[in-house]
Structure 1
Amino acid sequence: MNNSATAQPAAGVPETLMADWRDYFALLKPRVMTLVIFTAACAMVAAPGTMHPFLAFTGILCIAVAAGAAGALNQWYEADIDALMKRTARRPLPAGKMDPREALAFGVILGTGAVAVMGLALNWVAAAWLAVSILFYVVVYTAWLKRRTPQNIVIGGAAGAFPVICGWAAVTGDTPLMAWILFAIIFLWTPPHFWALALFMEADYAKAGVPMLPVTHGLLETRRQILLYSLLLVPVTVAPTLLGLAGWAYGGTALTLGALFLWMAVKVARSRALLPADMLAEKQLFKFSLLYLACLFGALVADRLLLP
């Protein structure tokens, strides 16, 4: 049961609420926001058509603010379990630096504003998908799935994939096949990326009672699932080229990056490390997965801009 409304400060932290701009910025999950902004911006560039630079900036800003709103609402709801995990215990709410009601209001205002501006400045198709992305992350993933099923990150991965739909729709006003392929790439990338992290954070999730796959099904099964999703991911990344929606500059990059990703996923699948300190293959895959997605979407932009 969520106890965010009555979250208590972590041990040794004064009860006086002393939130400043850095705490509000931390609520936005800026590291997560960076990847969301980048993939959405790449989708906007790759989409056919042109857009005034000011409108493009407005669209990216709306997507960034919406992602930050979802992060703030996620932290408001999960303050109780964040307090139990080393990785998240210093966040503003579990650390007692902010009243939970402030975080809730902050997230709602940002999310509502981002959707409204997207609709008024660009189009309501993009705005609708932006609203879906916020609600999916907060309601479906955070409130419904995360504490109930080890498939939380699989289904919840859609939340991180919706921004590319928003970016594409911001330019074109619709969501064609190519936009959904980009969605599928991020959707399939999320499980191996996040489970690689979950493998060496398993003790934290177990302590907080979060049913992540390593907690419920063990390390070996998680490693097997990482390889399985990696095998599904790579063909989808090449699909735009095979379908004539992108050139071979992108396709060749996707194949090269995919081969590296699969090699690292195989190393993870063969790993038998039990302690986080020994999980070198898992940490390597987690770090590379971030570079992988960035380079993949960067290649898509290069393919669109440099080739006729």
Structure 2
Amino acid sequence: MKNTWINQTKQTTTIKRFLQRQGVGHRLISDVKHGQGNFLLNGALAESSTSIQENDKITLELQPEPEDLTVETSNLPVDVVYEDTNWLIVNKPAGLTSIPGPTNQTDTLLNRVKGYLKQQDAEDLRPHLILRLDRFTSGIVLIAKHRLAQSMISVQVEQHLMEKIYIAIITGQLKQQHGIIDQPIGRVVDSPKRAVMENGQVAKTEFWVQQTSASWTMLKVQLHTGRTHQIRVHFTHLGHPLLGDELYGGPQDLIKRQALHAVSLKFMDPFTSQIIKIKVPLPDDMVQITALE
């Protein structure tokens, strides 16, 4: 694949520094320097150290990414809600693991996306999951279709610049209609669980009450950090575990998995500088709970 930019500044710089300002990561630039692509200046081969001037055209040419043969191909369907040259956004169902692991090597979201790309005759066959969801959390997952997209979105991921909104249904009722939970989260020794602990990593969760009943509250939740199980841990810490969340003690009578759905995502496309905003509906098992009220 090729991507071309025009240097619109009068300041003299090098191809490497220019590409870094566009969001291209150091690792990818190094890979190209070591034979995995080419730098072009006004259509001619160049080095990363080559100086550029105003209005010069800088092209990054990358070799297609071959499939990872250690990842099985699954031809089971994926629910694609947005796609362009660089991005694939899917609505993951609850129960589907994001990436292969010890208990499932053949049918995860990554396996299915690989199968989808092969069916599309894509040149790049090594998809990069930018956002992941727990197995029993449903909703939006962003996937970079090639390594340049992965590289250029990394700053937004690392600096928590994406707007990630979830719908959660917790046990009981909250006194506040809106609040921010700012409590560090760490790993519980010899357990898959996480918990609020003083020596944990910074974690910040914002919420707004959407609907209440005698036994549960539905919330809109925004993540300002991205810790493992963050929403589940923070509301458990408040004494309000998610409905259906067996790991954290949520009741199982209304739903058989944690009532958590990634409902919307907003980010700036680094290739176009345009905002992409995607929203998906609530899954049936969560709709049925709210309909009981």
TM over 0.5: no
Higher percent of residues as helix = 1
Bigger relative contact order (CA 8 A; separation at least 6): 1
Higher percent of residues as strand = 2
TM-score, length basis structure 2: 0.27
TM-score, length basis structure 1: 0.26
Whichever of the two has the greater Rg, that structure is 2
